[in-house]
Structure 1
């Protein structure tokens, strides 16, 4: 029996009647763009996350891009961020004409190391963009203090952290703006691409709403050059069906992670660290090992998926490395060399977790 990295079918079948009925009603209504389900989802998500505004956009990359633009980040600016993340984080910075400034990560949480941020600030620095990687909230108290001290914007990359919180405050509510992805495999995922920008700023929210819709507040009247980046009405139907269950989904992800931890505790691997600063929602379960290839081969032989998130830090990617000659970020580079992600999704049975761990144990024996 194969075990995938994520199995989306179980979640769909549990909500199939509600989702199918909602999609059918939308087809009947023919309201497909910025319709009632998008508006309702924005209101429901804002209430859940504890923010004044939640604006649906086409995908998580656009959410980052439009959040940066709306926050006033532009040509010649510098944005401090992590080198150990999906490329969209840095792509969005480049889209607005700014320069990503990569700062090394904490070796346990894999998030931006707050102790290294201030040394990277220059007169061109305009923002800090921390990533709540794999569902582990970044140390936002420390990062926010730096942002305030240096009068910098703070944009959260929440693509992997929907439902994660710090002392009851949700990721996406802790900076000037938050950017979410609803890619199907995310903790809250739709059936295609989708994203959202969150903010308590009326000015940022108004700008994002204009930017997502061709720079327009009133139809056919355009005040700025904008984009076509609207959350699809049918995706909003799916997200509305799933949103009431997000806390349950995240609890089940934590169940999976903690069972992995218990089974792997005596093996020569480093299991994911929970720093106690915030609630980890385990978008990925990522361990560190010196024997990654052996473990992957053993898992593959048994029909068990695994993945490497991420094999090459951003400052070493072909698209960026010429701009950062000689830059050494040893923690990110070491983590990239040793990281391995195991299957995780809310419906993953205990028996499957135990089987995966048994294969790893044999591979390391």
Structure 2
């Protein structure tokens, strides 16, 4: 049986929305983008939402709007996708890596305060795989030290922890709508914030630094625009937004199916002794990815053996402080952040998406358990 690593959920509603947009006046940032921004802000309970072209550029724009640059430090987790730290690098600032919680893989909030120096300006927690980091603890630390918090929510739209959603306890929260995400437009992102001044700055920065967008200039009497700041080209456009609007409406329904799959995995793997990250009692998990921890030193063997059974797999992630760029620039060495490194050496991601059939789910379970037992 073949089980693809991921299958998207684009359906007839999204196809019709794209067709409608293609037959309209605006293909760039226009009414569909504004509708999605309003809907997404409402879903999260945020004051402002800006559609962008990726979570990576969203992180960068937030950092830029906060004035973070050369000489500044930003605390990031070692267990995340490279974009989290890369956005800091692109600002000219320095990422400071913090180790993971052993049970979840998320940034260990207990280690954040130790990493703060006089040069620290912000913290970027990542909600790994869809489970939120300890935002209450991180926000309290940030408040004590006068730091900004930018949430990397690339894995987490639907999540909650301690009753808080993404964006509620931070300066800004950044999201991804990449092809494998819970809602997708192929490539895309968003930023939410409750800070009106910050929202205005990021709105200008995402479109060259211009004072007016195309919709502002061409849907009423023409108005000249200015360029008060130097910006970038990072605006979501209406074709992307048209794909997202309906998906957002049914995001909770899709989550129920993914929760069913994950519950089946967790029950079977717990009984069979297959290790995987814990889900905390006080959380609502967004269920972006499901990872298991292979026997130590056997992860790549497990990957190959699952692929031989035609099961799609991935690695999310290796500890990024040990990737060549960061090792060479900052002298990072094995053993510096042992929990993230151990997870990075053992983790692999198995298929988990709403379109999986029950037969596929059971085939993945059977295969993982058999291979795990063989490799122990």
TM superposition score category, shorter chain reference: over 0.9
- Is the Cα contact below 8 Å between 2:105 and 2:277 reproduced in 1? no
1:317 paired residue number:
323
CA distance in 1 between counterparts of 2:39 and 2:163 reads 17
Q: What are the equivalent positions in structure 2 for 1:147-158 lying under 5 Å apart?
A: 147-158=142-153
- The total of aligned residue pairs comes to 358
SS at match of 1:298: helix
Q: What are the equivalent positions in structure 2 for 1:70-109 lying under 5 Å apart?
A: 70-109=65-104
Q: Deviations over 1:89-110 (max 9, x none)?
A: 0111111111000010101111
CA distance in 2 between counterparts of 1:202 and 1:161 reads 23
1:206 paired residue number:
200
1:329 paired residue number:
337
Of 110, 126, 129, which aligns to 2:124?
129
Cα deviation, residue 71, structure 1: 2.2
Q: 2:342 matched to 1:347? A: no
Q: Deviations over 1:255-275 (max 9, x none)?
A: 111100111123332122111
Cα deviation, residue 58, structure 1: 1.1
2:191 paired residue number:
197
Change (3 A) 1:91 1:326: closer
CA distance in 1 between counterparts of 2:80 and 2:162 reads 24
SS at match of 1:341: strand
Of 268, 288, 311, which aligns to 1:304?
311
Q: Deviations over 1:280-323 (max 9, x none)?
A: 12211011121323432332122111111113x11111111123
CA distance in 2 between counterparts of 1:170 and 1:157 reads 13
**Which stretches of structure 1, 4 residues or more, deviate above 3 A after TM superposition?**
none
Q: 2:39 matched to 1:31? A: no
CA distance in 2 between counterparts of 1:56 and 1:152 reads 25
CA distance in 2 between counterparts of 1:101 and 1:77 reads 10
SS at match of 2:264: helix
CA distance in 2 between counterparts of 1:326 and 1:271 reads 27
Question: What are structure 2's unaligned runs of at least 5 residues?
Answer: 213-223
1:4 paired residue number:
4
CA distance in 2 between counterparts of 1:238 and 1:316 reads 37
2:215 paired residue number:
none
Cα deviation, residue 227, structure 1: 0.5
- Structure 1 stretch 90-99 or stretch 167-176: which is displaced more? 167-176
CA distance in 1 between counterparts of 2:78 and 2:277 reads 19
SS at match of 1:215: coil
RMSD after superposition: 1.4
2:254 paired residue number:
249
CA distance in 1 between counterparts of 2:264 and 2:270 reads 10
CA distance in 1 between counterparts of 2:302 and 2:327 reads 30
Q: Deviations over 1:169-214 (max 9, x none)?
A: 3213320000101001101111x21110100000110011000111
Q: 2:269 matched to 1:275? A: no
- Is the Cα contact below 8 Å between 2:81 and 2:317 reproduced in 1? yes
- Is the Cα contact below 8 Å between 2:60 and 2:88 reproduced in 1? yes
Of 255, 262, 265, which aligns to 2:270?
265
Question: What are structure 1's unaligned runs of at least 5 residues?
Answer: none
- Is the Cα contact below 8 Å between 2:52 and 2:189 reproduced in 1? yes
- Is the Cα contact below 8 Å between 2:326 and 2:332 reproduced in 1? no
Cα deviation, residue 324, structure 1: 2.6
SS at match of 1:221: coil
- Is the Cα contact below 8 Å between 1:211 and 1:227 reproduced in 2? yes
